[in-house]
């Protein structure tokens, strides 16, 4: 069943279990090569690769093109073989914590992973809209708006190329410039206002670009197409690069190859780019709380992210769900599943982005509609296991402005190309489909989970750096010391343990 696919076991094949997995791959028709990377489970947590310093140290061979691989847990292989279905719809992220140095704009991470300043890359950093941090000068009156515009173009280009470190370096510089009140015109101006030495040297050249047409920064046709594809949920850097290299230019070329998760992302391609006004998020919260009260009142929920920090708009809605005193995630999952089914029956939840067998039955009418819309054969395979996180699309009545200026920021929707307009699906009734993610937490790790998913990224960076200095490991599922979880159900208990000031969520926009 693995015939035609190439696999590499990571970080190496030097343990008996990993060698056995390689044998299983070969017995089932798989080849050795750089297409799918199977990462030992000891290096995986929360959907991403962890322990990067050790991972890179053990990597063999050293020249494995990690950025080109689709990464999955090594244990996924046994699941695929058991159910006779290879599910590549939800790959791991290579980095959830990215280690860069202070000169982030010029840096690239070395294989030993030895840098010290942690910068987190979260989906929220890409999706938060209309967020103005304290002391941020709105774009309309910022004296460095043209320089910021050029840096945004560079940041987008490097992000498109999967050059994470340069992309994050430019993000950091943009954030700094948004608080600078002096006009920066020289290298000395930039240094004096806190920009890195590497970027400061480039300021005269960047200002020249901003004064001209900036043609050197314009994306070529391939880059524009890659960005167009990447805006669809389920299509990342690796997959979009493959499609572009094969000569595809529109989604009508891709539909025959797309799985149900990607088709769902295509159906709501434009909807999921629109910002969600705060008042609308409150309405989502009310609908979900009513369903919880009706079918599983022991469940508790809290919307996190920029919404919890007081932002006027957000890109999606992240909800942390728990049961007081309960650490059995499968039990919490069973209760959440009842709520999900109720929300599907009420028409609130429109579509899923991950499933198990029970939820597949609840969503069968949606799948019939989806595959009919794309004129494809019904093809949805699932595993019979508890769902510890559930991603979906949901809709309530529209409220507030959907586009335009928001506190000095704007959200530009990448529209469908004319030949792809037919793939758009509408919820109807004046509603817009929104991304809603349910994240289950054990009670003992709830404090750390709330901290992480509330953010912001800089506050999380501070907390994790302090934790490391004090001999702890702070993750999105708990605070650990010497590998043992410290049971802390309150986020302020976590801050106390780390000796960090008790900041309210609205104060964490640092």
List the structure tokens of 52.
């990067």
Q: What are phi and psi of 125, to 5 degrees?
A: -65, -30
Given a contact cutoff of 8 angstroms between Cβ atoms, the answer to whether 98 and 164 are in contact is: yes
Beta strands in 166-282 (DSSP E): 276-277
Given a contact cutoff of 8 angstroms between Cβ atoms, the answer to whether 5 and 30 are in contact is: yes
62-86 burial by CB neighbour count: b if 16+ within 10 A, else e? eebebeebebbbbebbeebbeeeeb
- Closest residue by Cα to residue 436 from 292, 310, 281: 281
Cα–Cα distance, 457 to 438 (Å, whole number): 20
Cα–Cα distance, 297 to 300 (Å, whole number): 8
Contacts of 119 (CB under 8 A, 6+ apart): 97, 98, 99, 100, 104, 168, 172, 457, 461
Q: Is the four-CA dihedral 207, 211, 212, 213 of positive or negative sign?
A: positive
List the structure tokens of 325.
């005193």
Q: Is 381 helix (H, G, I), strand (E, B) or coil?
A: coil
424 annotated active-site = no
SS3 per residue for 216-232: HHCCCHHHHHHHHHHCC
Annotated catalytic residue: which of 73, 159, 202, 450? 202
Which residues are known to be catalytic? 202
């Amino acid at each position: 069943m693995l015939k035609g696919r190439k696999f590499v076991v990571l970080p190496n094949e030097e343990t008996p279990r990993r060698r056995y997995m390689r044998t299983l791959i070969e017995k089932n028709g798989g080849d050795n090569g750089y297409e799918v990377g199977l990462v030992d489970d000891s290096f995986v947590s929360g959907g991403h690769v962890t322990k990067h310093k050790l991972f890179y140290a053990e990597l063999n061979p050293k020249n494995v093109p990690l950025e080109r691989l689709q990464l999955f847990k090594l244990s996924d292989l046994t699941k695929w073989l058991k159910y006779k279905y290879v599910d590549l719809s939800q790959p791991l992220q290579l980095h959830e914590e990215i280690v860069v140095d202070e000169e982030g704009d010029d840096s690239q991470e070395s294989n030993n992973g030895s840098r010290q300043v942690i910068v987190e890359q979260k989906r929220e950093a890409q999706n938060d809209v209309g967020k103005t941090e304290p002391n941020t000068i709105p774009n309309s009156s910022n004296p460095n708006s043209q320089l910021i515009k050029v840096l945004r173009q560079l940041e987008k280009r490097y992000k498109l190329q999967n050059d994470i470190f340069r992309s994050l370096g430019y993000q950091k510089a943009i954030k700094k410039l948004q608080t600078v009140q002096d006009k920066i015109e020289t290298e000395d101006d930039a240094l004096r206002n806190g920009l890195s030495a590497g970027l400061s040297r480039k300021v005269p050249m960047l200002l020249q670009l901003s004064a001209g047409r900036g043609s050197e920064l314009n994306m070529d046709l391939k880059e524009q197409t890659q960005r167009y594809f990447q805006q669809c949920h389920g299509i990342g850097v690796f997959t979009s690069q493959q499609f572009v290299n094969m000569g595809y230019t529109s989604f009508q070329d891709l539909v025959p190859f797309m799985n149900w998760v990607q088709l769902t992302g295509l159906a709501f391609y434009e909807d999921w780019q629109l910002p969600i006004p705060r008042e609308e998020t409150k309405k989502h919260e009310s609908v979900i709380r009513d369903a919880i009260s009706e079918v599983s009142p022991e469940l508790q929920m809290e919307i996190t992210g920029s919404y919890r920090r007081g932002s006027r708009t957000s890109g999606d809605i992240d909800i942390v769900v728990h049961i007081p005193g309960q650490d059995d995630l499968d039990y919490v999952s069973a209760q959440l599943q009842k709520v999900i089914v109720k929300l599907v029956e009420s028409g609130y939840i429109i579509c899923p982005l991950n499933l198990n067998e029970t939820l597949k039955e609840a969503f069968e009418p949606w799948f019939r509609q989806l595959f009919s819309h794309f004129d494809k054969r019904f093809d949805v395979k699932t595993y019979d296991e508890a769902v510890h996180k559930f991603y979906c699309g949901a809709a309530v009545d529209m409220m507030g402005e959907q586009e335009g200026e928001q506190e000095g920021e704007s959200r530009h929707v990448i529209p469908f190309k004319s030949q792809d307009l037919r793939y758009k699906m509408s919820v109807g009734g004046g509603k817009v489909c929104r991304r809603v993610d349910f994240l289950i937490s054990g009670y003992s790790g709830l404090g750390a989970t709330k901290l992480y998913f509330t953010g912001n990224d800089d506050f999380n960076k501070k907390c994790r750096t302090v934790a490391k200095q004090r001999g702890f490991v702070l993750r999105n599922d708990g605070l650990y010391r010497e590998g043992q979880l410290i049971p802390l159900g309150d986020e302020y208990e976590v801050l106390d343990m780390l000796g960090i000031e008790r900041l309210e969520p609205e104060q964490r926009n640092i």
